[in-house]
Amino acid sequence: MFSAASNFFRRRPVTVADPAISDSSSTYEVPLYTNAAYYPNWRIYRKQPPSSLRLGFISHVFYSFAWVKEDGTVYLSDEWADTQMPVDGTEGCLRAFVQLKQQYSQMRVILSVGGGGKGSEHFAAVAHSRSRSETFVHTARQLVDQFGLDGIDIDWEHPADSKQGKDYVRLLARLREVLPAPRYVLATCLPAGQWALQHIDLSAAQKYLDMMNLMTYDFAGPWESETGHQSQLYGTPTSCYLSVSYVLSQGVPSRKLILGIPTYGRSFLESNGPGQRYTSCGGEDGVFDYRDLPRPESQEVLDNQAGAAYCVGGDGGFVTYDIPATVQQKAQLVTTTKLGGLFYWHICSDSRGPRSLIETGYNTLHDM
């Protein structure tokens, strides 16, 4: 098993034609598997700058989030944190990540646009309008060029009907024209449930995308009346396996599909397992960082059949989350079904050492 970060980029040569390179043909190398992570810009206020992160195991950083104005303009959600705050000897977290590419030469930094709530509220109107879409793609490209980034991730949560699904595909097509491959990465983040995915022609969408990040988590939470595993590998009505199977059945090449791993746990008080009633949620908004799990005085349990883990007892009640053993199972699903790799929401809440989910995923993916 490869346990050193320096071993991550064991690569295969790929010859590409890139008009941005003076030579019409250039040979470069790509990692066997993606091991990507999101970085939410608000975590800088918890003293977690880019330099504090273990990036040697990371192929792509998705910097979250830029937002979208009603007129289609893509803008940074926190100008102070993103471009002005003194961070790692430069101005802003974006520049701090980009300068780390000198140390991690194969790491790509991608701007994620959207997210939940305010971040996605204007996507539907913008994608439906040709003029607003033009504003969107050109302002997105301007931010990429301004900060020396490697691409854009569309995190529209999410097209609500087939009409919006068609607009979403058209927006991707226009973005691909403005951000041509292979110079730029174009990615998207999608819900795992068929209830949302059914509105999108996934076969058409994938033609414009390099990566499709499947949010295979939040299967359970405070919006449900009963407890459940939040990211189970197997089971019903929702699981990682069922979600992957559905997307692949829609004509998406397996190598474009990236499986999501949560680095947090969802808490349900006054319960001790899945399928139970609960009184309320513990932690911050019902969530604990993975690095703070299992909770003190609780017992950690692995459900091998479901491919899920949880702890019971302590101040969290029933807390559902991933552990190294479940990440190993999910990484093995990636390798056996020839998916593109794994991504994590988010890098700042992972643990260190043998309990690190990100390192476990990397090690398992590249265990040859």
Kindly report the length of the chain: 368
Mapping DSSP onto H, E and C, the string for 290-327 reads HHHCCCCCEEEEEECCCCEEEEEEHHHEEEEECCHHHH
| DSSP-assigned beta bridge partners for residue 14 | 28
Contact 232, 223 (CB under 8 A): no
- Residue 206 φ then ψ, to 5°: -65, -20
With left for phi above 0 and alpha for psi between -120 and 50, is residue 56 left, alpha or beta?
alpha
Cα 314 from Cα 102, distance rounded (Å): 44
Catalytic residue among 29, 70, 91, 157: 157
Q: Give the separation between CA 301 and CA 310, rounded to whole angstroms.
A: 5
Distances (CA, A) of 15 to 104, 219, 256: 22, 40, 18
Query: Do residues 255 and 12 make contact, with C-beta atoms less than 8 angstroms apart?
Result: no
**CB of 29 closer than 8 Å to CB of 12:** yes
H or E element at residue 86:
strand 86-87
Q: Is 121 a catalytic residue?
A: no
What does 211-273 look like in DSSP terms, one character per residue? EEEEE---SSSTTSSS---SS-SS-SS--HHHHHHHHHHTT--GGGEEEEEESEEEEETT--S
β-bridge pairing 211-215 and 185-191? parallel
Largest CA distance in the chain: 64
**Which active-site residues does the annotation give?**
157
